[in-house]
Amino acid sequence: MSNLSLASHKRILTRYTNQLQKVLTRFKDTQLEEISVQNLQDEITPTVIQTSLQQLEEAVAALENMTTKIQHALDELATMFEKSHPTSPNIEEEFAQYSTTAEEAIGNTFEYLVLLHARIHGFKAHVELLNTSHQHSTTKSSKDESTVTAVKNLELPTIPIPTFNGDIWDWDNFWELFNLNVHSQNLSELQKFNYLLNSLKGEPLQSMKKFQLTRQNYLKAIEFLTNKYGNPEELIRQLLRKMDKISLHSSSIHEQRRLLEDIEAIIGQLVQKGENVDNQSMYQKVLSKFPVGIQRKVIHKKITSPDEPFTMQQLLKYFEVVITSEEQVCRQTSATNTSSRYS
């Protein structure tokens, strides 16, 4: 009965994954992500906005619903693997055969959803901006637009923007979202400047004191921040320094998962900036961050997979498989202990 149940869960996961991939491909083929305020600027009307928002929101709802189903199916399949093969030494490899494709589909969908959400927010911000402009057009202001008072009194539409506190490794992500949601939108320079100030914290915000709050200074402020925090060579130095310092706070599997995710983020940024991470020194540095028991299991995977080219990406994949397996063991052990206490 358990084998039939396991096979059923495999089929469900495969079917959901195939459906998600087909829907995602269909949306991309129709270039749904190209529906934006910027691209429709010359023909934008209330009807166009309403239709565009409906298309985008329906797509987001469909993708998020299917992603949730896959995540649930993955959890169910993992549980069934544990129940059906509790002593199998290859349980993680067998599970990975089915989970890898599903996780890749979820990852691709998440990236696309971020873009669709940004388009939706762009349309909603444009609607609020039009409403605000209409309200202000009925009255005249005697105040100069370049004054601080005028800036503080601007009724800014609600636009989702990140915050930046000066960590150089966060700059690229911050600028990507700020550029998409604010810098490239149809807003006045003064409004953009105000959004920028509202998104900065700590040292970056303090450095803005050198700029008078005028529309002419907005691009100067952006140039200053880009030169200071967007320097790729300095980012690489900071990331390597961060890699040296990063460590486990405890030996718990939860802490090891946190460490792996931090390392993956650092490696990803180093690769993006053109740094070579495929070398023995970096391999050893990553390995040394984890307990000896985990290191042995990862090295064993490398030895037993001679046909696979060994790269940093492959090393991180081995860590993912090993730590996922450890998490499953912890969950199963915890469930068994709980059951024993109440039996």
Q: Give 66-98 pLDDT, tens digit per residue.
A: 888 888 888 888 777 777 665 556 666 777 777
- Of the pLDDT bands very low, low, confident and very high (cuts 50, 70, 90), residue 101 is confident
Average pLDDT value over all residues in the chain: 80
The percentage of the chain sitting over the pLDDT mark of 90, rounded to a whole number, equals 27
User: What pLDDT is stored for residue 221 in this prediction?
Assistant: 94
- 14-23 long-range contacts, CB within 8 A, separation 24+: 14/98, 16/66, 16/69, 16/70, 16/73, 16/102, 17/70, 17/101, 17/102, 17/105, 19/66, 20/63, 20/66, 20/67, 20/70, 20/105, 20/106, 20/109, 21/105, 23/62, 23/63, 23/66
pLDDT value at 147 more than 60? no
Which amino acid is residue 257, in one-letter code? Answer: R
What residues does 164 pair with on adjacent strands? 200
Burial, 95: exposed, middle or buried (Cβ in 10 Å; 0-12, 13-18, 19+)?
buried
Q: Give the residue with greater pLDDT, 210 vs 135.
A: 210
Q: How confident is the model at residue 316 (pLDDT cuts 50, 70, 90)?
A: very high
Q: What does pTM read for this prediction?
A: 0.46
Average pLDDT over residues 53-77: 86
Question: Using alpha carbons only, what angle is made at residue 298 by residues 297 and 301, rounded to the nearest 5 degrees?
Answer: 90
* Helix H or strand E segment including 119: helix 91-137
